[in-house]
Amino acid sequence: MRGRADLAHRALPLALAIGGALACGGGRETLAPSSPEAAVRTFMNAVRVNSLSTMGELWGSSRGPARSYMPADELEQRLIVIRTYLDHESFEILEPQSAVPRAANQRIVEVRLTRKGCRPVVPFTLIPYKGGWLISNIDIAAAGNPARSCPQAPGQSLEEPGA
């Protein structure tokens, strides 16, 4: 009887460690999307539904997804900023797979956002990672300030035509 209790007592820490690792996603390896467009499309859909965890799996560097190496609080802050700038009613992928000058292994995918009457084009830079693609850079400045109205196009007047 004592042997069973002793075995259970020794197995408990191991069971807790395994359970904790599974609950926290420890060791979980997700596959990067197979094309740059798929990575951007999945990321933009995650932005739309406010899925920071999916965004953290698709955004990263040559080290892998940001969620695998960035402190959780820093990652969350960065993703909230990205999500705020990329919030949209709809999006359209414009130019998939144009090569980045002097970086043949990178791709730029341009996305036209539709947001509050604005239609900015935002370039995403993607890098290959383990047979798939990760978003390594997003030019959020191109999205414009989400708290302001659309910038006026050059030569456009605020007055009504014929006034």
- pLDDT tens-digit map of 29-42: 567 788 999 999 99
Domain assignment of residue 105, yes or no: yes
Specify the DSSP element, H or E, that contains 137.
strand 132-138
Structure pTM?
0.73
Domain assignment of residue 54, yes or no: yes
pLDDT digits 0-9 by tens, 141-162: 999 998 887 776 554 444 433 4
Domain assignment of residue 4, yes or no: no
Question: Which residues form the domain of 76?
Answer: 30-143
Total of domains in the chain: 1
Domain assignment of residue 5, yes or no: no
Q: Are 144 and 153 in contact (CB under 8 A)?
A: no
Give the Cα separation of 143 and 120 in Å (integer).
5
Residue found under tokens 């998939």: 96
Q: Report which of 99, 108, 130 is spatially closest to residue 32, judged by C-alpha positions.
A: 130
